[in-house]
A = this chain, B = another copy of it.
Amino acid sequence: MMIAKQTQPEPKNLISSEKMESFIKRIDFKKGEGLVPVITQDTRTKDVLMLAYANEEALRLSFSTGVAHYWSRSRRALWKKGETSGHVQNIRLIDTDCDSDALLYLVDQIGVACHRGTWSCFDSVSEEHERAKP
């Protein structure tokens, strides 16, 4: 079934298992009781799309599937961004900061990032995005 394969591509590892494990080991999940904040930025526009949280499983799934996963604090559940809306975020790079207590997901945003239907969860970013449209 070629079509199925095309619409649901095989999971792709962004980096090798060894590099992923070494990266995950560095992250300070303790400070935030198992969670670290994640800044999500669109690769093309460099717009900041949202701030969310990841636990270790969400980070691992983001690496291993290549699409952004988070931990929803309100639903207290693992959250594959865009699972119902289709507005997934294809990950290009995952980075951490100097204290290893925050993450940066660089993504190709499909559709829009915010559940309100706006490009970004930050209004000023969405407004700028609208103004920049040709």
Q: How far is the CA of A97 from the CA of B109 in the complex (A)?
A: 17
- Interface bin, chain A: 20 to 34
Add 16 more A-B contacts to A31-B73, A45-B46 (CB < 8 A).
A39-B39, A39-B48, A41-B48, A46-B46, A48-B48, A51-B102, A93-B124, A95-B122, A95-B123, A95-B125, A98-B115, A98-B116, A98-B121, A99-B121, A102-B121, A104-B122
Q: How far is the CA of A71 from the CA of B123 in the complex (A)?
A: 24
Q: Please list 7 pairs of residues, one from A and one from B, whose beta carbons are closer than 8 Å in the complex, sorted by A's number.
A: A37-B51, A97-B121, A98-B114, A98-B115, A98-B116, A104-B124, A106-B124
Which positions in A face B, CB cutoff 8 Å?
31, 37, 39, 41, 45-48, 50-51, 73, 93, 95-99, 102, 104, 106, 114-116, 118, 121-125
